[in-house]
Structure 1
């Protein structure tokens, strides 16, 4: 049984990871022109716009009335999420934001007793933590796709989102000091 000591850190860590990945995707998308948002790598892959539309649709379905209705809503048309409707960038970003806001609103409303509940996704039982981890994995999987596609579409204009190649040592020295390695402080008896 979760306690407040474990619930808050669990939810905080999940929310932080989701927020970090959302920002990562958005920073990648900022580097792509409108045509690049719509361009798939080939006939068998999805464009950035389609992936963003799918993620938003998934989040809206899973997290609307999360505790009381099945995560696969009757109003969701998953197949159309994989069709590029030609939305303008601002429309796409607004829909993306709507999906993520639904997720964060739901997560921020959870109590410790809610983590002990069972929810359903496509009729399959999930504990609340399992449903959260499922959504985390799904969203982060697609964020990785968005970042990779954005990297390809931006070409030589790409600005890395993390530590640039060949600069790990400099980053470590800056973050941890001259030696470039952290000091581990042992605890315990």
Structure 2
């Protein structure tokens, strides 16, 4: 298998890992919690979802052929409060991820050598993908953090719970 194919498979797995973390967090929260904002007006989960949706649709639609900052995107509106329901937010979440994942699935090794533009700035395809692999997990981490802060002692770990690493390793890999 070529390094380009390995890379394309790897990034799809990494993005899916972060989507899964977000999915599990969103499933645990109600509409009121999705719109909760900490003191000082940091973004709510609802605002983060709107931003991720706008970003993913803009960046990944016609990824190889048009600028990643589409003229129809209204980025500032992504940060305005609204009354979207949980179902509407999940629809935005899924649509953004579908656009990203479908585009990644359609890329070939030869595409990795191409140049794409984001706000008229040239990027190698690899750099544009890596840029998103830094941006999207950053915001998914915010979603998880807010979910954990809201649920507190009702929070269930999304990976290995504190103090359970040895149990996990023994179960997964057998006694060492």
Alignment of 1:91 onto 2:102: no
Find runs of 4+ consecutive structure 1 residues off by over 3 angstroms. none
> Within 2, Cα distance between the matches of 1:73 and 1:59?
11
Corresponding position of 1:66: 63
Q: Does 1:164 align with 2:166?
A: no
Among candidates 38, 51, 56, match of residue 53 of structure 2: 56
Consecutive unaligned residues of structure 2, counting only runs of 5 or more, are: none
CA displacement 1:95-137 (0-9 Å, x = unmatched): 1111111111111111121111000001111000100000111
CA RMSD of aligned residues (A): 1.0
Largest Rg, 1 or 2 = 1
Q: CA deviation at 1:43?
A: 2.9
Name the structure with the higher helix share: 2
Tell me how far 1:178 sits from its aligned partner. 1.3
What secondary structure sits across from 1:126 in the alignment? strand
Q: TM-score, normalised by structure 1?
A: 0.90
In the alignment, which residue of structure 2 is the partner of 1:23? 20
In 2, Cα distance between the equivalents of 1:111 and 1:8? Answer: 8
| 1:133 and 2:130 matched | yes
TM-superposed CA distance for 1:84, in Å, is 2.1
Q: C-alpha distance in 2, partners of 1:35/1:151?
A: 15
The number of residues matched between the two structures is 176
Any stretches of 5+ residues in structure 1 without a counterpart?
180-189
The answer for the alignment partner of 1:13 in structure 2 is 10
